[in-house]
Structure 1
Amino acid sequence: MDDIDQQLLSLLRANARASVASLAKSLRVARGTVQNRLAKLEAGGVIVGYTVRLKPQAEGHRIRAFTTIAVEGNRADAVLQALRGDPAVEALHTTNGRWDIVAELRAESLEAFDQVLSRIRLVDGIANTETSLLLSTHKL
């Protein structure tokens, strides 16, 4: 990927619905160039999809949090597999340092969130967790 590809991806991150014409104008290249680069990035698996980002207030799941998870021994794959099946788990990230996994969680209410945490803490292979509720979002 060259500088134009990086700029193209940056523009798409800001607005995935931008037209090829507007992308070409912003990049100061021909429309065909943008179309060819998009096709190449899609075929190469760099771009795997386009999506809609909602304001957190617009979503039904009002309670959002990050839960950091310490895994016992080499159990990370099993823990990840168990967490993938939970509908409250929005995303999973492996990390380095003190915590092995960061889980993005969502729930309708504090009571529902309490149930989510109870389920997660019962997953075999989890040694410890720490949760931080997300209070506000400043950049999407």
Structure 2
Amino acid sequence: MTINKQLLKALTSNSRRSVTDLAKQLGLSRITVKQHMEQLERQVIDGYTVRLKEDVEAKKIKTLVLIAVDQKMIKRLTEQLRKIESVVELASISGEYDYAATLSADNTASIDNDIDTISQIEGIQRTMTSVILSTKFRR
């Protein structure tokens, strides 16, 4: 495995680790790790984020909403869906539906309201919603 792949794997599991800790783990000098991190930040890494603890994340209500859309309105629909705060991910998919949106909120009322908002956007033809009961693992 290349240094960059090893570094990305280590950062994916914990992006808060210091360069010194990463260097120790990978058996490399601190300067080598720093140079590789700078290269990855220029070319590959878009940003660092916070991952909530499992017990905090488990309290959130998450749903997967499949969305069929009018193909002529896809760009506008994407922008409308981006404005809904609980939509944390939007993927285009193949099959009967065009999009799969993952929603996450603190309660069912918020999710219900946002699903109603989605279904009322002009160009949305139909939706199908499933509640995510648990996440078995995340990378």
Q: Note whether the superposition's TM-score is higher than 0.5.
A: yes
TM bin, normalised by shorter chain, reads 0.7 to 0.9
Identity %: 37
Q: 1:51-90 residue pairs with structure 2 within 5 A? A: 51-55=49-53, 57-58=55-56, 62-90=60-88
Tell whether the 8 Å contact from 1:16 to 1:50 is kept in structure 2 after alignment. Answer: yes
Question: What SS does structure 1 have at the residue aligned with 2:39?
Answer: helix
Unaligned runs of 5+ in 2: none
Runs of 4+ in 1 over 4 A off after TM superposition: none
2:15 corresponds to 1:10? no
TM-score (norm 2): 0.87
What residue is the counterpart of 1:34 in the other structure? 33
Contact (CA 8 Å) 2:58, 2:134: kept in 1 or not? no
1:114 match: secondary structure: helix
TM-score by length of 1: 0.86
How many Å separate the matches in 2 of 1:99 and 1:123? 16
Structure 1 vs Structure 2 CA RMSD = 2.0
- Name the structure where helix makes up a greater proportion of residues: 2
Per-residue deviation, 1:85: 0.8
Q: 8 Å contact 1:61–1:106 — kept in the other structure?
A: no
Gaps of 5+ in 1: none
Separation of aligned partners in 2, 1:86 and 1:56: 24
